[in-house]
Structure 1
Amino acid sequence: MPRHVEHPAHLPPGRSDHDVDLVVIGGGVNGTGVARDAAMRGLRVALFERNDLAFGASGNNSGMIHGGVRYLTTDPHVTATSCRDSGHIQSIAPHMLFRVPFLVPVEAGGSGRVMLTLIDAFFEAYDKYAPLKRGKPHALLKADELRQLEPGLRGDIIGGVSFDEWGIDGARLCTANATDAAERGAKIFVGCTVEAIERREDNREVVAVRYRDRMTGEIGRIRTGTVVNATGAWAPITASLGGIAPTAARVRPGKGIHIVYDRRLSNYAIMGKTIDGRQIFAAPWQNMTIVGTTDDDFYGDLDQVRATSEEVRYLVQGIARVFPQIRSARAIGTYAGVRPTIYAYGPSEDELSREHDIVDHAAHGAPGVFSMVGGKLASYRIFAEEMTDILAQRFGIGARCATHSTPLPGGDRPVDAMDLAKRMEIDPIAARRLVFRHGSRSLVIAERVRERPREASVVCACEPVLEAEVRHVVRNEWARTVGDVARRTRLGLGACGGMRCAARCGQIVAQELELPPREGLNQAMTFLARQAHTRAVALGPEQARQEALAIAGVRSELGFDGDDSPEGEAA
C-alpha cells in the first residue's frame, strides 16, 4: 500500500455539478495509465498535458521495461514489481516489445576472478524473478565465448555473464494508453496547460481546473472534485497550482542523457562502467544503438533538458573501455530526460530509491488532490492501478483493475508484416515498423492507403514513415506539430536528422489542421533547429561542418534567411 494516503468518505461519481469525476494532469506513462484505468472502471476522466504525450521522462528514457537488476540488493521490491509488471505489459502490448540480450564483461587482473564469481552469484539471485518477465536465465561465459558473441569487445577480459531485458518505445506506450482511455470516454487535452486548480473557500475541496490551449490561446474551465497530479519532475510546480506547498509533492529530479548512433552496432547490449564507477550500457534499440545513461541532480528548466558535450564524452569514455569501436561509430543525436525520483537529501543519485509514492493532499489542506511521485517506466501499470484503487474507494465503485489483462489498442491480435506489405504494396521494412508502432491498428492505416494510394509514399526514408501514418497520428493521436509526429512515428530521428522529411511533414500537419502553409514550414524549421542542437554535442568537427552546410541548404530551399528564423531556433 502506498504511503501518505488517507481514505475519505465516498464521493459519488457522475455528479451533475461536475463535468468529469476526475482530472489527470500529465501525459506521461503514469498519467495516461491512470486515465485508462479510471475510464475502464467507469469514471468520467479528463487528461491535460501542457506539452505533448511522453514529452518528459516517459519519452526520453532508456526505452526498456527492465527488471531493475541494479536495485536487487537495495530495493528488491522494486525489482519484483518491475519484473511482474514487465510480464503484464508484454501481454497487453506484445507488438511493442523486443528482447534485448545483455553482455556483462569482467576485466582480467586484480580481483577479476573473484568479481566474476560474485556477479555470477548475483545474477543467480536475479534469475528467480526472470519468469515474471518471461526472461531467460543468465549464463556464465568464458572470455572466448564472449568474443564469439561480440568480437568487438576489448581483449583483456576474463569472462562475463549474459542476461536479458525487454525494449519498448515509451512514447508509443503513452499514446496507446491515452487512445484506450479516449475510446472509453476520456477527454484528452494535449498542448493545454492547467493554470489553476480551483478550491472552495470554506472546506478547501476541489471544484474545477482552469486551462489554456498553448497553440490557440483558448481558455477553458472544467468542473471536477478530484485531481491527480501525474506530472513527474513537474509535480511540485503542479501542486502549487492548487495552493499546495511544493514541498508536499517534492521530488529530486535526476537528469539522464543518451547518445544515439545511426545503426545497430551489436546484437547485444554491452555493460560498461564510467570513470567514477557508474554502470552504463550500449544497447541495440529498434533500428539504432543508444548509449546511456547519466544520473545527475538537475536544477534547470524542465522544458529545456538537453545533453552537453561533457556528458557525451563521459559516456563514450566508459563504453570505449569495453567496446572501443564506439569511438569511430557515427553519432546522430542525443536526448535527455529528468527522472522524478522520490526526494531524499544526502544519498548520491545512484543510491536514491526508485520506489513510487502516492500523496493524498488532504493532509495538506487540499482534499481531492493526489500526487504521484517517483516510479519508473517498467512499473507504470501497477502504479496506475494503486492510484486508481484509491480513486475507486473514494468514489465507492467496486470495479476491479483489468489493465493487466485487457490489451492496449493494437495488442489484441498479431499482424503479419509481410502480408501487410503485399496488401499495401510497400517495402517490408516499412510494414514491419508500422506493425511495431501500431499493432493491429496498422490495418486502419492500410485501409487509408487502399482508399488513397498516394498516401503510401514515404515521407521519412530513415525510419521509414508513410504519409498515411503521418496523417493518421495527426487525426487520431493528438499530434499537432512536426515534433509531435516525430514522437509518435520516429520521423526525423534517424541519420538525416529530419532534413529530408521535416518540410514535407510540416506541410501535411498544416493541411490536416487547416493551418496556413507558412505555419507548416515554421514547424519544420523549429524541429530542425532542435534536432541540430541535440546532434551538435555528439558530433566531431568534420561531421559538424557537414551538418551546418546541410542545414544552410535546407534553410535556403525553404526560403528562410536572416530575420525569418522561427521562434526557438538558434542564431
Structure 2
Amino acid sequence: MNNLQAISNNAYDLVIIGGGINGAGVVRDAALRGLKTLLIEKNDFSSGSTSWSTRLIHGGLRYLETFEFSLVRESLQEREILLHIAPHLVKPLLLTIPIYRDRSRPYWKIQAGMFLYDILSFDKSLLSHRMLPKRKFQQLFPDLDPEGLCGGAQYYDCQVAYAERLCLENILSAQAAGATVLNYVQVKQLHQGGNRIDSLSCCDRFTGEEVKVKLSDRGVVVNTSGPWVDQILESITANGLTSSRSGSKKIGPTKGSHIIVDPFPGAPITALYVEAKTDGRPFFIIPWLGRYLIGTTDQHFQGNLDRIKADNDEIDYLLNETNRVIPIAGLSRQDVKFTYSGVRPLPWEEGKQPGKITRKHIICDRTPAGIVNLISLIGGKLTTYRQVAEEIVNAVYQKLGEKAPACSTQNQPLPGAILPNDSRLKKALDDYRDVISPSSIHHLFSIYGARAIEVLALTDCSSDLAEVITPDLPDIKAQIVYAVNSELARTLVDIARRRTSVAMLRNYGLDLLPVMTEVLTKHCGWSSQDCDRQVKEYYTYIQQNCIPDYQLTDLKIWDRG
C-alpha cells in the first residue's frame, strides 16, 4: 500500500511522472547520485509502451537508411552495457535477413548495412555478421519463400524476453537506494507558482486518497509519461486555473501491434527480420519463451491511449505476411494465442509516414509559460533508456545549480545480475532438487537472476508454494507471493502479465485465476471480496487489451459460463 501521508510531509528534489523504462532509469540514476527522488505512475510500472515492445535490445539496423548514425552508435553502446549490467535478462539473439530481388532493399544495400553495423559496434562482445549466398541460405532455411531469393544475412542483437522485469529491476534498485516509488497514483494537476512548478496534486487510484506532493525550493519535475506527455503538460495550473501552457503538440504516437503463436510448420530456428511483401515495411518473427512473437505494425494513432488493442486488420496483416515469407506456415486467426498493442511516444512530425519519423529522443525543457523546473522526454527506446536517464539527471543537476556527481549506472549491475562464476544456481539445484523440478529452478533464475534465491526461500516456510501454478508452465506459486510482498504488485494483472508472463503463455491466464486467488487469500491476506473484484477487473483488462475481437465473437472465449 502507498503511504501518501508520509509523502505529503516531504519536499522532493526530483519528482518523476511515469514509471515506464525511461522513468525507471531516471529514478534509479537520480537515487544512486543522492537526490531525494519520488516516482509516480498512474498504473503499474512498465504497463504502457515498455510492456508492449518487440522485446529487443538492438542498434536499430534500419535507422542507417535515414542516416541516424549517432542513434545507432548510441544504441549499440547501450546494448553492450546492458549485456553486462543485466546478463540474466538481456541475451544475445541471432537474426536472419532473407534478401529478395523484388523487395525494396537489394543484396548490396543489406551487405553495406551489415558492414556499417559492425563498424559502429566496434567494441562489441557479440559476433560480427555473415552473408549467406543463396544455396547456403536455402540449406539453412529450406521453408522460406524461394521466389526471387538472392541469399541472406545474419547478425547478432539482443532480446529481453521479460522487458517488464528490466523496468522493475531499475525500480527496485532505485527504491533500495532511497527513492520513493508509487504505482497506481495519478497526477491530477501540476501547480505553478511564478515560473516554477511548486507542487503536484495526486490521487491513489485504489483508495481515492488525495495528496499534494511538494517540491523543494529548487526541485525539478521530469515528465517521462511516454504517450501521455502532452496530457501531463496540459494539467499545469496557475492560481487554480488551467490554461494552454503546454504549447504545441509534442507527441505524435504511432501504434504497433504484435501477435503470439505456437511453433508452426517452417518456424525458423533464428529470429527473422523480413520485409512485408505487400508494402515492404520490415517486421520480426522471433522465438520467444517457446512460442513465436510476430510484429510489429506501424500506423498513426489518434484514439484513447488507455484502450489500445490489436485490431483484426493488423492481425491479418501479420499472419498473411508471415505466410508469404514461410509458405508452409499456414497460420490463421485460430493460431493466435495472445495479442498486444501499444503506441510509440514519437515526436510530433506532421505529414510524415510513421516509419519515417525519427526514433531519436528529445529532452525538452521549454514551455510557453516559461516554467524553469520542468523537463519532458519525447521519444526514447527500450535499448537506450539508461543513456537517456543519464542525460536527464545531468540536466536536473544543471537546473538545481549543482555539479552533477558521476553517473554509475553503466557499471553498477541491476539487482538480479548474475556475474561469471556465480555458484547460486548450482547450489539452488542441489538444495531444492527434492521439492522443485530443475526446469522450474532454471526458469526462476532466467526471470529473477540472483534474486531467485529469495523466491525459493519462500518455499522453506510453506511447502505448497513449491508447487507449479499449472503443469503446463514451470512457474511456481511462490512467485505469486513474491510479486505482492517484494515486487510492488497490487493486482492480478500485475502478477500474471508483468511480474510473470503466464497470461501470455496460457490461455490469457484465465484458467490460472482460481489458483492465483487461492494463494493470495492464504498467503497475502486478500479477502474473498478483493479476489472477486480483481477477477472481474482481470477479465475486463484481457477483453479490452489482449483478446482479438474475432475471438470474442467467434470463439466466445469471453463467455465465463
TM-score of the superposed pair, with normalisation by structure 1? 0.87
1:366 aligns with 2:371: yes
Counterparts in 2 of 1:274-353, with a 5 A limit? 274=276, 275-328=278-331, 330-353=335-358
Change (3 A) 1:180 1:509: same
Q: Which amino acid aligns with 2:107?
A: L
Change (3 A) 1:47 1:507: farther
Q: Deviations over 1:19-77 (max 9, x none)?
A: 22111000001101000000000001111000111111111000001110010131111
Q: Which amino acid aligns with 1:520?
A: C
Aligned pair partner of 2:386 in 381, 386, 390: 381
Change (3 A) 1:133 1:319: farther
What is the CA–CA distance in structure 1 between the aligned matches of 2:51 and 2:513, rounded to whole Å?
Answer: 20
On the 8 A contact 2:424/2:450 being kept in 1, the answer is no
Aligned residue for 1:155, secondary structure, equals coil
Q: Deviations over 1:361-380 (max 9, x none)?
A: 46632221111111111111
What is the CA–CA distance in structure 2 between the aligned matches of 1:503 and 1:33, rounded to whole Å?
Answer: 35
What is the CA–CA distance in structure 2 between the aligned matches of 1:382 and 1:29, rounded to whole Å?
Answer: 12
1:475 aligns with 2:485: yes
Q: Which amino acid aligns with 2:191?
A: E
1:105 maps to which residue? 98
What is the CA–CA distance in structure 1 between the aligned matches of 2:554 and 2:475, rounded to whole Å?
Answer: 26
Q: Which amino acid aligns with 1:472?
A: Y
Change (3 A) 1:535 1:28: closer
1:484 aligns with 2:494: yes
Aligned residue for 2:345, secondary structure, equals strand
User: 1:471: how far off?
Assistant: 0.7
On the 8 A contact 1:177/1:408 being kept in 2, the answer is yes
Aligned residue for 1:167, secondary structure, equals strand
Counterparts in 2 of 1:488-503, with a 5 A limit? 488-503=499-514
1:409 maps to which residue? 415
1:393 aligns with 2:405: no
What is the CA–CA distance in structure 1 between the aligned matches of 2:484 and 2:274, rounded to whole Å?
Answer: 40
User: 1:115: how far off?
Assistant: 1.8
1:153 aligns with 2:140: no
Q: Which amino acid aligns with 1:356?
A: H
Q: Which amino acid aligns with 2:46?
A: A
User: 1:421: how far off?
Assistant: 3.8
On the 8 A contact 1:272/1:321 being kept in 2, the answer is no
Q: Which amino acid aligns with 2:508?
A: G
1:48 aligns with 2:59: no
User: 1:241: how far off?
Assistant: 1.7
On the 8 A contact 1:536/1:544 being kept in 2, the answer is no
On the 8 A contact 2:394/2:404 being kept in 1, the answer is no
Aligned residue for 2:143, secondary structure, equals coil
Q: Deviations over 1:531-568 (max 9, x none)?
A: 35555438779x953x63xx54xx34xxxxxxxxxxxx
Q: Which amino acid aligns with 2:111?
A: D
Q: Which amino acid aligns with 2:383?
A: A
**Pairs aligned (count):** 531
Q: Which amino acid aligns with 2:153?
A: V
Aligned residue for 1:159, secondary structure, equals strand
Q: Deviations over 1:162-191 (max 9, x none)?
A: 112100122111100000000011111100
Aligned residue for 2:268, secondary structure, equals coil
On the 8 A contact 2:247/2:367 being kept in 1, the answer is no
User: 1:159: how far off?
Assistant: 0.9
Counterparts in 2 of 1:125-274, with a 5 A limit? 125-156=116-147, 157-168=149-160, 169-200=162-193, 203-224=194-215, 225-243=219-237, 245-248=245-248, 250-263=250-263, 265-274=267-276
1:68 maps to which residue? 60
Change (3 A) 1:421 1:87: same
Aligned pair partner of 1:516 in 527, 531, 546: 527
1:420 maps to which residue? 428
What is the CA–CA distance in structure 1 between the aligned matches of 2:29 and 2:197, rounded to whole Å?
Answer: 21
What is the CA–CA distance in structure 2 between the aligned matches of 1:513 and 1:49, rounded to whole Å?
Answer: 23
1:564 maps to which residue? none
What is the CA–CA distance in structure 1 between the aligned matches of 2:503 and 2:141, rounded to whole Å?
Answer: 30
Aligned residue for 1:372, secondary structure, equals strand
What is the CA–CA distance in structure 1 between the aligned matches of 2:94 and 2:39, rounded to whole Å?
Answer: 36
Deviates more, 1:356-365 or 1:204-213: 356-365
Q: Which amino acid aligns with 2:251?
A: V
1:25 maps to which residue? 17
Aligned residue for 1:479, secondary structure, equals coil
What is the CA–CA distance in structure 2 between the aligned matches of 1:111 and 1:393, rounded to whole Å?
Answer: 49
Aligned pair partner of 2:361 in 334, 356, 360: 356
Change (3 A) 1:248 1:463: farther
User: 1:417: how far off?
Assistant: 4.3
1:437 maps to which residue? 447
What is the CA–CA distance in structure 2 between the aligned matches of 1:495 and 1:377, rounded to whole Å?
Answer: 26
Change (3 A) 1:322 1:241: same
2:3 maps to which residue? none
1:117 maps to which residue? 108
Aligned pair partner of 1:91 in 49, 67, 84: 84
What is the CA–CA distance in structure 2 between the aligned matches of 1:320 and 1:415, rounded to whole Å?
Answer: 44
Aligned residue for 1:135, secondary structure, equals coil
Q: Deviations over 1:95-148 (max 9, x none)?
A: 00222211111235x689x92233212211111123444332211112332233
Q: Which amino acid aligns with 1:404?
A: Q
What is the CA–CA distance in structure 1 between the aligned matches of 2:530 and 2:233, rounded to whole Å?
Answer: 34
On the 8 A contact 1:362/1:368 being kept in 2, the answer is no
Q: Which amino acid aligns with 1:273?
A: E
On the 8 A contact 2:10/2:214 being kept in 1, the answer is yes
User: 1:276: how far off?
Assistant: 1.6
Q: Deviations over 1:417-459 (max 9, x none)?
A: 4653442332222222211211101111111112222211112
On the 8 A contact 2:246/2:367 being kept in 1, the answer is no
Q: Which amino acid aligns with 2:142?
A: P
1:58 aligns with 2:61: no
Identical residues among aligned pairs (%): 28
1:8 maps to which residue? none
